[in-house]
Chains A and B, each alone.
Chain A
């Protein structure tokens, strides 16, 4: 019960802090305000999901590399090489998502739409 009360209080304060969103100015760029808000949310979500997925997969790669080296310390240079190569390939996909997120966040949508 206490947790529900605490959560309810938190929600109330968050909504209170967001009340300036209800005041809209007229004219020009602010007419595109829903598109700007959507582009912020989408840009943030894209890079967050990509970073989370990339970090999880890189963690799996590094952990199996560590286990491999601990089982056979003589093969450490080979395993280190494969690990670095694999990490770079996984990171490439995260970089693709980062580029898309930069494009979404930095375009001035008011000029083109």
Chain B
């Protein structure tokens, strides 16, 4: 994999423009970056690029909302209704208040996955750092929402299971399974996107002309499915943390 590395144009441009001030700021804080000519790594630049792209495009597209929707507005409403549909299917009616977080994660991961197929860019989700960040954000979020919805003591009682006598057996199992959730989320997304990108790079280094196209089609399919599954699993974890048991 040493000969397959290539530089990302946007990251080089960013480091050329803003490299010196960022380097000075980092040195002020006492941090010495590994490569002083490129203090911001390429995946961070791509994260910032995807975030700015989403902010600009969605911000511009959501101007002038009217009660009778135009074509552009109905497209946006379709996207939001898809997220709301997943939320209400999994969590129930009270699920709509989690829409900002779930919508952000879903759109960010979808755009990050797709932008790797555009020549000149790379997917930030093809690095374990970025996917671990998304998975940890979901982990912290659903625990926080669970504590907020049920109170800390009742939320911790969930870990002991239905029968109090079995609590010492069930508690380590529940803790391990809760810690395996961000691991599986991050590794699933990272493995799928990284393996697809590696496959396309290897195929392109053998036959660069028409052969990568079917693999890129599979990569589009994989990108859509992986972002959907990430959002779905996040909703399932939130539902598990927030739902009230119907006892009496």
- A contacts, CB < 8 Å to B: 84-85, 88, 91-92, 95-96, 98-99, 102, 106
Find out whether the CB atom of A96 lies under 8 angstroms from the CB atom of B229.
no
A84 partner, pick from B187, B188, B192, B225, beta carbons under 8 A: B225
Nearest-neighbour CB distance to chain A for B182, whole angstroms, equals 13
Main secondary structure of the interface of A (DSSP, over half): helix
What residues on B are CB-neighbors of A106 within 8 Å? 1
A96 partner, pick from B187, B225, B232, beta carbons under 8 A: B187
9 A-B pairs whose Cβ atoms sit less than 8 Å apart in the complex: A84-B225, A85-B229, A88-B225, A95-B191, A96-B187, A98-B191, A99-B190, A102-B195, A102-B198
What residues on B are CB-neighbors of A96 within 8 Å? 187, 191
Cα of A106 to Cα of B31 in the assembled complex, Å: 30
Find out whether the CB atom of A99 lies under 8 angstroms from the CB atom of B232.
no
What residues on A are CB-neighbors of B225 within 8 Å? 84, 88
What residues on A are CB-neighbors of B195 within 8 Å? 95, 98, 102
What residues on A are CB-neighbors of B191 within 8 Å? 92, 95-96, 98-99
What residues on B are CB-neighbors of A98 within 8 Å? 191, 195
Closest to A99 in B: B191
A92 partner, pick from B1, B184, B232, beta carbons under 8 A: B184
Cα of A58 to Cα of B192 in the assembled complex, Å: 16
- 4 smallest CB-CB distances across A and B, nearest first, come from A95-B191, A92-B188, A88-B229, A106-B1
Cα of A113 to Cα of B226 in the assembled complex, Å: 37
A95 partner, pick from B1, B187, B232, beta carbons under 8 A: B187
Cα of A75 to Cα of B237 in the assembled complex, Å: 26
Closest to B230 in A: A88
What residues on A are CB-neighbors of B198 within 8 Å? 102
B1-55 with Cβ < 8 A to chain A: 1
Closest to A105 in B: B1
B167-226 with Cβ < 8 A to chain A: 184, 187-188, 190-192, 195, 198, 225-226
Cα of A106 to Cα of B188 in the assembled complex, Å: 20
Find out whether the CB atom of B187 lies under 8 angstroms from the CB atom of A99.
yes
Find out whether the CB atom of B229 lies under 8 angstroms from the CB atom of A95.
no
Closest to B188 in A: A92
Cα of A88 to Cα of B229 in the assembled complex, Å: 8
Closest to B198 in A: A102
Cα of A88 to Cα of B1 in the assembled complex, Å: 27
What residues on B are CB-neighbors of A88 within 8 Å? 188, 225-226, 229
Nearest-neighbour CB distance to chain B for A55, whole angstroms, equals 16
Nearest-neighbour CB distance to chain B for A54, whole angstroms, equals 13
Closest to B1 in A: A106
What residues on A are CB-neighbors of B226 within 8 Å? 88
Cα of A63 to Cα of B76 in the assembled complex, Å: 37
Find out whether the CB atom of A85 lies under 8 angstroms from the CB atom of B188.
no
Cα of A95 to Cα of B194 in the assembled complex, Å: 10
What residues on A are CB-neighbors of B232 within 8 Å? 85
| Candidate in B191, B195, B198, B225 with the most chain A CB atoms within 10 angstroms | B191
Closest to A108 in B: B2
Nearest-neighbour CB distance to chain B for A87, whole angstroms, equals 9
Cα of A88 to Cα of B189 in the assembled complex, Å: 11
